[in-house]
Homo-oligomer: A and B are copies of this chain.
Amino acid sequence: MPNYSNKKTTHVTEKVSTASNRGMNFEHAVTSSFDYYLNQKKCLILKRPTPIHVVRVDYSNNARIKDAYFEKQSTADFNGVYQGKYIDFECKETKSKTSLPFHNIFKHQIKHLKNVIYFGGIAFFLIHFVTMGEVYLLDAEFLINEIETSNRKSIPYETIKSKGILIEQGFIPRLKILDAIDKVYFDEKTKTHC
């Protein structure tokens, strides 16, 4: 079982639901893994800031924001560079033991990741099965094709297990995501790119 205990403790996360807190912990595990990779000079992959529309700032109080709202996200969670290639991915998690429901994956995320693929970038999903404590890397092109062509409302756990790559877990990095990226996109595919 993964230990995603190093959760953010802003006032915001304290107020949101348990499910969202789990989401934060998974995201935090991903973020901290890429912090490690950056320190090890392996790659530069960062979480995108949440877009916020600022309405009012109190300039008499050190530019404190006093009115703002969350804008609609138009991208995926993380992006960056590894071996010169552009990488972009979205984190998803589910309590289900049998499948990842498609309603978890938003239209803007599909549109964005399709664009990434079109422009030659690497796009995938990291899928956390909370109950089993397993995280998989699944190629975005494959998953989007399933969403757009199957009549199902979810993708079975067994399909993710067979078509994705199980991410090895450890102390540091907590998720060995780069090993999975190497396996899927660099060990095989790049040989045919040049």
Contact = CB atoms under 8 A, between A and B. Distances in A.
A83 interface: yes
A107 interface: no
Chain A, interface size: which category?
35 or more
A137 interface: no
A63 B57 contact: no
Given A86-B86, A115-B38, A119-B44, A68 B65 contact: yes
Nearest to A86: B81
Contacts of A80: 86, 119
Interface stretch (A7-15, A95-103, A145-153): A7-15
30 contacts: A10-B53, A10-B54, A12-B55, A38-B115, A43-B119, A44-B112, A44-B115, A46-B74, A48-B48, A49-B49, A49-B50, A50-B52, A52-B52, A52-B65, A62-B69, A63-B69, A64-B67, A64-B68, A64-B69, A68-B68, A79-B79, A83-B119, A83-B120, A84-B85, A84-B86, A84-B120, A84-B193, A86-B87, A193-B194, A194-B194
